[in-house]
Amino acid sequence: MLTKTLSTVTWLSVFTLAFVSHPVWLQKLPKRKAPAQAKVATCCEEVNELKAQVANLSGLLSELSQKQEKDWVSVVMQVMELESTSKRLESRLTDAESKYSEMNNQLDIMQLQAAQTLTQTSADAIYDCSSLYQKNYHISGVYKLPPDEFLGSPELEVFCDMETSGGGWTIIQRRRSGLVPFYQDWKQYKQGFGSIRGDFWLGNEHIHRLTRQPTRLRVELEDWEGEVRYAEYSRFAVANEMNSYRLSLGNYSGDVGNNALLYHNNTAFSTKDKDNDNCLDKCAQLRKGGYWYNCCTDSNLNGVYYRQGNHKEHLDGITWYGWHGASYSLKRVEMKIRPEGFRP
Ligand SMILES: [Ca+2]
């Protein structure tokens, strides 16, 4: 009973304390006012309106960005298309270029074939490069001269120089690579050896045949410093084999400053196996070539090819005494002929 009373007293004190510390609880709650409710309604309408506008705008925005994306894609497509068009054009250009060069090649071949199939009469025989030149073949290079019964000449591959000093030159000798040895025997020198596009000797038999008409010889020389000189001779002729392919020369002209071939004029041809020189020695063996050796040389155009660094130490090199002396082997030599009466 006492405990119950105590608990009642405790609760009462708790309530009293609560009222003292929070007097607001004793006040009446304020009533809501009507105008405030109207304001809330307007506000909601405005919000809704704004929301609608936002929705509209974002719709527009997404529409715009879609359109922009489409535009961008179409620009990219156009650029790609342009690129591929330019590539197509480029490849067509390359095609055209290669076709053009192929046509040029075919033209060269046709030119050769035409030269080979021209009707042969003694008057318009293709005798050498000068007759090709007169028939309007003006490109330097390899030509095949057809066999000619009237002239008694076999088919012959020649290299024509159609540019130097009016063109029409048939090249009879060339040294420039050093890949072909020129220390050959009589038979080799008779028929010719080497490569028509590289180093070669056309052959004494062919040279003899080509020089039966009055012929001009042109010798072109180049040293290892790149200096180029030439010597020309009128009335150049090589006799037949019975006369040991004896050399005849007329007047000298040129800019090499020395008539080094004069010493060899009117001498027979010698090779390592046929000593026709004017010496007790065997000049062909001493000078390691085939040539119109006298006793022995003022020039040795068919000598040994010595390369730069090794070209000043030997007496059997490719020499022209009046220019660089007896022990300077030249870098390049070409001997070429054409008829005296040739007019470009
Ligand atoms: Ca001798």
214 φ, ψ to 5°?
-55, 125
* CA 248 / ligand 1 centre spacing (Å): 20
- What is the domain-level CATH number for residue 256? 3.90.215.10
Residue 284 lies in a domain: yes
Q: Which helix (H) or strand (E) holds 340?
A: none
Average pLDDT over residues 148-172: 92
* CA 64 / ligand 1 centre spacing (Å): 105
Are 244 and 261 spatial neighbours (Cβ–Cβ below 8 Å)? no
Are 201 and 193 spatial neighbours (Cβ–Cβ below 8 Å)? yes
Which long-range contacts (C-beta less than 8 Å, at least 24 apart) are formed by 186-192?
186/271, 186/273, 186/274, 186/290, 188/271, 188/290, 189/269, 189/271, 189/290, 190/241, 190/245
Question: What is the extent of the structural domain holding 302?
Answer: 92-108+127-339
Give tens-digit pLDDT for 257-284.
889 999 999 999 999 999 999 999 999 9
Give tens-digit pLDDT for 282-329.
999 999 999 999 999 999 999 999 999 999 999 999 999 999 999 999
Residue 68 lies in a domain: no
Longest dimension (CA), the chain: 173
Angle at 262 between CA 256 and CA 264, to 5 degrees: 120
Residue 221 lies in a domain: yes
Angle at 332 between CA 327 and CA 335, to 5 degrees: 105
Q: What is the domain count for the chain? A: 1
Residue 17 lies in a domain: no
* CA 249 / ligand 1 centre spacing (Å): 22
* CA 247 / ligand 1 centre spacing (Å): 17
Residue 24 lies in a domain: no
Give tens-digit pLDDT for 190-208.
999 999 999 999 999 999 9
Residue 240 lies in a domain: yes
* CA 238 / ligand 1 centre spacing (Å): 20
* CA 290 / ligand 1 centre spacing (Å): 13
CA atoms of 274 and 294, how far apart (whole Å)? 13
Query: Which pair of structure tokens corresponds to residue 272?
Result: 């390592």
* CA 279 / ligand 1 centre spacing (Å): 4
* CA 295 / ligand 1 centre spacing (Å): 8
Query: Can you give the pTM of this predicted structure?
Result: 0.66
* CA 231 / ligand 1 centre spacing (Å): 27
- Prior bond of 279 cis (ω within 30°): no
Q: Which helix (H) or strand (E) holds 64?
A: helix 34-117
Residue 234 lies in a domain: yes
* CA 285 / ligand 1 centre spacing (Å): 10
Residue 15 lies in a domain: no
* CA 263 / ligand 1 centre spacing (Å): 16
* CA 276 / ligand 1 centre spacing (Å): 6
Burial 163-195 (b: 16+ CB within 10 A, else e): eeeebbbbbbbbbeebebebbbebebbbebbbe
Angle at 142 between CA 101 and CA 226, to 5 degrees: 90
Give tens-digit pLDDT for 4-40.
444 544 444 444 444 444 444 444 444 444 555 555 6
* CA 200 / ligand 1 centre spacing (Å): 25
Chain centroid to CA 114: how far?
28
* CA 118 / ligand 1 centre spacing (Å): 47
